Copies of this chain bind each other. A is one copy, B any other.
Amino acid sequence: LAKVAIVGSGFIGRAWAISYARAGNDVALWDQDAGAPAAALDYIDGVLGTLNENGLLNGRSPAEVRGHMSAAATLEEALDGASHVQENTPEVVEIKREIYTRLDALAGPDTVLASSTSGILPSAFTEHLKGRARCLVVHPINPPYLVPAAEVVPAPWTDPAVVIRTRDFLIAAGHAPIVMKKEVDGFVMNRMQGALLQEAFRLVEEGYASIEDVDIGIRDGLALRWSFMGPFETIDLNAPGGVRDYVERYYPLFARMHETQQHMADWKGKLLDGIEVDRRTKLPKDKLVERQVWRDRRLMALAAHKRRAADEIGE
């Protein structure tokens, strides 16, 4: 097991801290706001109790997991002895460049420097570094202690051995790493989310279905199987002869649809106005935070269910 430095201890950083410490790693939290690590640790104390009630601490006690975490007073202290750095600063390329310059200067030569960025390519902020071969993106879906998938995205100059080491480190922490072969805008998950959202916006814009109907189609329909199989395994099991049989049966339908699925709906203007009215009618603005708490409780219950189902029925 290893020491992890969390650089930037806000929303994403503190969630990573839980995930890494739960796996037995020592985790040092640092932030340029000197009060942030202590605030993160307070928040984490509450989360650990709930995770424990849901059987999601891998048999460890909250105190044991908490005992693996500490607040670092300086960046140097956080990096001292760290084999993995998880950087979670704001999504601004200049800020990423600056912090990576500091990280590369201060961290030992074998330390992996991983960024949580969702929207910036790793090449955009690591090219100038002497140690750029140990830099890459490890992008979570929040919160990583409930969502196993994490994208490992190399820049063109990232050492393949660093990619493999990072993949193995994530697997050891209970994650399901997606190892990209090269970088691209949106990585894997946001590209698929984007493709699906484009169609969701088109269906509403063109008057085929309501916003709620689109949500029903996913939450009470497609996403049930997707939530334990993914889209390729789903189609592989959806025709008697497997994926080739599926494509032979449904290719004409998907190809015909595709003719009207290439344009981008206007995400702003009247369409967005309508979507916002619909959502705010269902959920007033002052209830958003309460609903986010509901979402996190449902996500935790689902994570616990998936572990049970994998044990009892198989994965």
**Contact B253 A258, beta carbon cutoff 8 Å:** no
Q: Is A303 close to B, CB under 8 A?
A: yes
Mostly, the A contact residues are helix
Q: How many copies of this protein are present in the complex?
A: 2
Interface flags, A217-242, vs B, CB<8A=1, else 0: 11111111111111111011100111
Q: How far is the CA of A119 from the CA of B313 in the complex (A)?
A: 33
A215 at the interface (CB under 8 A from B): yes
B119→A224 contact, CB < 8 A: no
Chain A, 132-162, CB within 8 A of any chain B CB: 141, 146-149, 151
Q: Does A172 touch B at the CB level, under 8 Å?
A: no
User: A195 vs B302: C-alpha distance in the bound complex, in angstroms?
Assistant: 26
Indicate if the CB atoms of B231 and A276 lie closer than 8 Å.
no
A80-88, A94-102, A185-193 - the one binding chain B = A185-193
- Decide: B224 and A230 in contact? CB cutoff 8 A: no
The residues in A between 229 and 283 inclusive whose CB is less than 8 angstroms from any CB of B are 229-233, 235-237, 240-244, 247, 250-251, 253-258, 260-262, 264, 267-268, 272, 275-276, 279-280, 283
Report chain B residues within 8 Å CB of A173: none
Q: How far is the CA of A244 from the CA of B285 in the complex (A)?
A: 11
Contact B213 A219 (CB under 8 A): no
Beta-carbon nearest neighbor of A213 in chain B? B178
Within 8 Å of chain B (Cβ to Cβ): is A299? yes
Evaluate contact between B227 and A227: CB separation under 8 angstroms: yes
B291 near A301: Cβ-Cβ < 8 Å: no
Residues 165-218 (chain A) with a chain B CB within 8 angstroms: 176-182, 184-186, 188-200, 203, 206-218
Whether B276 and A243, one on each chain, are in contact in the complex, defined by CB atoms closer than 8 angstroms, is yes
A243 with B275: CB separation less than 8 A: yes
